[in-house]
Amino acid sequence: MIYLLIILLGIAADQAVKLSVIRHLQDGELLTVISNFFNITKTVNRGAAWSFLAGQAWGIYLLTAISAVALVVLLVCVYSTKEKVNRFGLSLMAAGCAGNLIDRVLYRGVVDMFAFNFGSFHYPVFNVADICLVIGTLIFVLFSSFKKNGGKDDHRIGLAA
């Protein structure tokens, strides 16, 4: 039950921030939070990470189908994995996947808003769902890489389910 709550809270946070951005900003408009470092903007990414497949008319359908399958797999994994930390990471991943899937269905693309600049380098714009995906993946991978072996940590990379 707690993992369903984590998923629902992640989706709610993602969609609330996106709705606020949609209501208050025009496409491409910048709201400066920290000058020359952090802005909030509104952009709809019609592709995947870094706008991959954005120029392809069929891309949105492929990405939506992949996202739907990934969400089902993540939900199955959340409830079939015994390790609590892995379940937490998978729950965050499911929340992020669901948040971006909702956007693909509603807006035919993913609403992104967080824009960071490091000098002349502009990091790709991202959203709360992306944060959930990255943090969940890091938790899952890092925890899974420390497999228990007779009470001692085995630092080989591998999945500990």
Q: What is the pTM of this model?
A: 0.82
Per-residue tokens: 77: 């994994």
Catalytic residue annotation: 112, 130
Which DSSP category does 25 fall into?
-
Helix axes 84-107, 128-144, angle to 10 degrees: 150
Q: Provide the pairing of β-strand 30-34 with 121-122.
A: unpaired
Residues 81-98: tens digit of each pLDDT: 888 999 999 999 999 999
Q: Is 28 exposed, middle or buried (0-12, 13-18, 19+ CB in 10 A)?
A: exposed
Q: How far is CA 81 from CA 50, 73, 129, in A?
A: 31, 12, 22
pLDDT band at 12 (very low <50, low <70, confident <90, very high): very high
